[in-house]
Amino acid sequence: MAESRQTRQKRILEESVSSFTSNFDAEELLERANQKDKKIGIATIYRYLKELRNTNEIYSYQCGGKTIYSNTKKTHCHFIDEESGEIVHFDIDNLDFLKEKIKGDINSISIEVRGKFT
């Protein structure tokens, strides 16, 4: 029996998402998926990403006014230079400083720091 289009598209999207080793946005996922199937559209991408977020299979963050996604990290932190607008991403390896302040389990974190490069 032939594979349905939706199943084939979902497999392509799964492979495309898992191939990212860093943050990506919906347009980058579309570009990667379109290398295998030009019929996959941006609406399909957004539905798929929403499904992954709802099942905690992927993480989403706001960065520079747009949503970015990660399949490997639960933290997203960046420093924004207020003069140039340059964004530098950094990792936080230890969340112990939050455990005293938050009653419950921490699943992800997003930090935006603004200032000026020296």
69-97 pLDDT, tens digit per residue, is: 988 777 778 899 999 999 888 877 777 77
Ranges of H-type helices in the chain: 5-19, 26-34, 42-54, 96-99
Q: Which amino acid is at 89?
A: H
Question: What average pLDDT does the segment 9-32 reach?
Answer: 93
- From 48, 70, 92, the end of a domain falls on 70
Shared domain for 57 and 99, answered yes or no, is: no
Shared domain for 80 and 99, answered yes or no, is: yes
Shared domain for 23 and 62, answered yes or no, is: yes
The pLDDT score that the predictor gives to residue 93 is 73
Shared domain for 62 and 10, answered yes or no, is: yes
95-109 pLDDT, tens digit per residue, is: 777 778 888 777 677
Shared domain for 47 and 65, answered yes or no, is: yes
Alpha carbon 38 to chain centroid, angstroms: 22
pLDDT of residue 3 exceeding 70, the answer is no
d(C-alpha 87, C-alpha 91), whole Å = 13
Shared domain for 57 and 98, answered yes or no, is: no
**Structural domain total, the chain:** 2
Shared domain for 57 and 12, answered yes or no, is: yes
d(C-alpha 7, C-alpha 85), whole Å = 41
Shared domain for 19 and 46, answered yes or no, is: yes
Shared domain for 9 and 60, answered yes or no, is: yes
Q: Which domain holds residue 107?
A: 75-115
Shared domain for 50 and 33, answered yes or no, is: yes
CA distances from 107 to 44, 56, 99 (A): 27, 10, 12
CATH number of 29's domain: 1.10.10.10
The pLDDT score that the predictor gives to residue 38 is 96
Question: What average pLDDT does the segment 58-67 reach?
Answer: 82
